[in-house]
Amino acid sequence: MAMTVELPALEQVDTMAPHAPSGRLRRLARPALGLLLPVGLALAWEIIVRLGLSTDGWCRTDQLFATIVELARSGELARHIMATLTRVVAGFGLGVISGTVLGAISGYWGLARRLLDPTVQALRAIPSLAWVPLFICGSASSRPRKSR
């Protein structure tokens, strides 16, 4: 024996519910939502500097963009970008080669795995950002300092 219950009040609520946004609106809203945080941070940065709440070396965003444009016009920005890309590609290449060789050796030879795996696992547990100060100090100490 089946029993049915009709609820006319719920049917009226369904007709009054707002319609879901169209696919086009959803496609536009997703990138806009992703821009919300960086744009908000840039606005907060500008407001803090303009109100004089921070004088610790923060520049105004218009000064920042003017410097970027000046470096681009002089060609210095392209030179720095190429130097950075060269370092990134070289580091990636060295990492791929050394990782492949050490991985193959560890996979083939049990003694190598027992020797290398604890060190590799310890290094893997260190967050990438934790290495940055070591590389900054290393690159800063290898350059000759300019006298003022």
Are 58 and 49 in contact, with CB atoms under 8 Å apart?
Answer: yes
At a CB cut-off of 8 Å and minimum separation 6, what does 67 contact?
A: 59
Are 45 and 61 in contact, with CB atoms under 8 Å apart?
Answer: yes
Comparison of pLDDT for 94 and 128, the residue scoring more: 94
Q: In this predicted structure, what is the pLDDT of residue 147?
A: 52
Q: DSSP code of 52?
A: T
Helix H segments across the chain? 8-16, 23-50, 61-74, 76-108, 110-124, 132-142
Least confident of 2-6, 40-44, 48-52, 83-87: 2-6
Give the tens place of pLDDT for each residue, 48-79: 888 888 767 778 888 888 999 999 999 999 99
- Can you say how many angstroms the Cα of residue 93 is from the centroid of all Cα atoms in its chain? 21
Are 81 and 75 in contact, with CB atoms under 8 Å apart?
Answer: no
- CA dist 85 and 83 (Å) reads 6
- CA dist 38 and 41 (Å) reads 5
Task: Please give the structure tokens belonging to residue 63.
Answer: 């000064």
Q: In this predicted structure, what is the pLDDT of residue 80?
A: 94
- With 0.75 as the threshold, say if the pTM is over it: no
- CA dist 45 and 58 (Å) reads 9
Task: Give just the sign of the alpha carbon dihedral 97, 102, 108, 109.
Answer: positive
pLDDT band of 2, cuts 50, 70, 90: low
Q: In this predicted structure, what is the pLDDT of residue 148?
A: 47
